[in-house]
């Protein structure tokens, strides 16, 4: 991602491919790699700036090239000629490898041309490229599936809403369950569309990349993650309401069931907020990396615990009603 500052069209295209792989590959390892890459490159740039502030200028003719960080490597104050520096250590494939990047300091005191072939590794992301392709196919199938689900559920809710004969507590609960799945499908589709648009419109300069990685992508990923977890929670708790209603249907009077509709609404739409909000806060404080792809077990159980409990309670109510 930050490699977009590399000189040359060929390098830029290769870097763009690397960027897409890092961003699209939804594993914990690649998410951490992106964060480490951003941090290590920033650290490398800061060290370069401090080095230049303390370095002495070349002696001799008085003509030299000023030391600079060109977006890829750190170049010292140099006399005219071919200058070489080690490959930047922030590149993930440089560990334990040797190589140099070369640049020419002209007699006019300007930098010209750069050869970075020794710092490239086209095979580093080969396995991830194959994985990205598989994920892309699964993403397309997911969007198609959720679109079909969205359409059928919208039709079901429309029919149940228009036919007054179907207006009763039982069908109101069904409608809310369907709506929760509609929202979930909508959140998934919107997330995929927005991320696809974002990934195909990559920035061309460093300022754009800093804004892109630290705000746009991060915010979209985290917001979509929170909304998805909320609607998934709503799915399970409306299923719990279905089980509660079935139990109530057998053991409670009709008037009481109608009066409980508002309480059912609170359980179905309100209860997920009680664990999604704390989960969001904890993720922000203790695991605010990448797109929240990593899942520390105890943090993950803030959500999975209540959902698991709702499933157990639902099974108990259903078993008692049989």
Q: What are the pLDDT digits (tens) for 8-25?
A: 334 333 444 444 444 444
Q: Would you say residue 192 has pLDDT above 90? A: no
Q: Would you say residue 129 has pLDDT above 70? A: no
| Average pLDDT of every residue of the chain | 78
- Across 105-139, b (16+ Cβ under 10 Å) vs e yields beeeeebeebebeebbbeeebeebbebbeebeeeb
- Of residues 132 and 145, more confidently modeled: 145
What local confidence, expressed as pLDDT, does residue 17 receive? Answer: 43
Categorize the per-residue pLDDT at 148 as very low, low, confident or very high, splitting at 50, 70 and 90. Answer: very high
- Of residues 122 and 226, more confidently modeled: 226
For residues 28 and 43, the answer to whether their CB atoms sit within 8 Å is no
Please name the residue that has the structure tokens 């750069």. Answer: 114
- Of residues 247 and 178, more confidently modeled: 178
Categorize the per-residue pLDDT at 3 as very low, low, confident or very high, splitting at 50, 70 and 90. Answer: very low
What local confidence, expressed as pLDDT, does residue 177 receive? Answer: 94
What local confidence, expressed as pLDDT, does residue 270 receive? Answer: 95
The pLDDT > 90 percentage for the chain reads 26
Q: Would you say residue 26 has pLDDT above 90? A: no
- Of residues 138 and 185, more confidently modeled: 185
What local confidence, expressed as pLDDT, does residue 305 receive? Answer: 92
What local confidence, expressed as pLDDT, does residue 2 receive? Answer: 34
The pairs formed by 187-192 with CB atoms below 8 angstroms and a separation of 24 or more are: 187/224, 187/227, 187/228, 187/231, 188/142, 188/143, 188/146, 188/228, 189/143, 189/146, 189/147, 189/150, 190/224, 191/220, 191/224, 191/228, 192/139, 192/142, 192/143
- Of residues 285 and 203, more confidently modeled: 285
Q: What digits encode the pLDDT tens for the residues 54-103?
A: 877 766 557 888 888 888 889 998 888 899 998 888 888 877 667 889 99
List of domains in the chain: 2-119 (4.10.1240.10), 126-321 (1.20.1070.10)
What local confidence, expressed as pLDDT, does residue 212 receive? Answer: 59
Least confident window among 6-20, 31-45, 130-144:
6-20
Categorize the per-residue pLDDT at 1 as very low, low, confident or very high, splitting at 50, 70 and 90. Answer: very low
Q: What digits encode the pLDDT tens for the residues 215-268?
A: 666 677 788 889 999 999 999 999 999 999 888 887 765 545 557 888 899 999
For residues 149 and 185, the answer to whether their CB atoms sit within 8 Å is yes
* Range 94-118 average pLDDT: 84
Categorize the per-residue pLDDT at 33 as very low, low, confident or very high, splitting at 50, 70 and 90. Answer: low
Q: How far apart are CA 175 and CA 169, in angstroms?
A: 10
């Amino acid at each position: 991602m930050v490699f977009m500052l590399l000189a040359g069209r060929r390098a830029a295209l290769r870097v763009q491919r690397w960027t897409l792989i890092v961003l699209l590959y939804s594993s914990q390892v690649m998410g951490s790699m992106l964060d480490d890459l951003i941090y290590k490159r920033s650290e490398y740039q800061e060290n370069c700036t401090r080095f230049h502030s303390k370095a002495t200028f070349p002696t001799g003719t008085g003509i030299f090239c000023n030391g600079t960080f060109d977006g890829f490597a750190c170049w010292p104050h140099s006399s005219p000629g071919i200058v070489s520096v080690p490959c930047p250590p922030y590149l993930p494939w440089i560990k334990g490898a040797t190589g140099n990047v070369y640049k020419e300091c002209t007699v006019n005191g300007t930098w010209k041309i750069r050869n970075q072939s020794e710092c490239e590794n086209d095979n580093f992301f080969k396995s991830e490229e194959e994985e990205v392709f598989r994920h892309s196919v699964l993403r397309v199938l997911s969007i198609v599936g959720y679109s079909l689900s969205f359409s059928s559920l919208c039709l079901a809710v429309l029919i149940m809403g228009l036919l007054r004969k179907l207006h009763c507590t039982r069908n109101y609960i069904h409608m809310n369950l369907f709506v929760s799945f509609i929202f979930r499908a909508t959140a998934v589709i919107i997330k995929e569309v927005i991320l696809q648009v974002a990934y195909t419109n990559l920035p061309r300069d460093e300022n754009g990349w800093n804004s892109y990685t630290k705000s746009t992508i991060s915010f979209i990923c985290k917001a979509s993650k929170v909304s998805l977890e909320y609607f998934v929670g709503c799915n399970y708790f409306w299923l719990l309401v279905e089980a509660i209603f079935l139990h109530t249907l057998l053991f409670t009077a009709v008037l009481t069931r109608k009066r409980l509709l508002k309480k059912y609404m609170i359980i179905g739409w309100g209860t997920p907020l009680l664990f999604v909000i704390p989960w969001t806060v904890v993720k922000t404080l203790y695991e605010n990396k990448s797109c929240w792809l990593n899942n520390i077990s105890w943090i993950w159980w803030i959500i999975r615990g209540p959902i698991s409990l709702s499933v157990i309670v639902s099974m108990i109510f259903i078993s008692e009603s049989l």
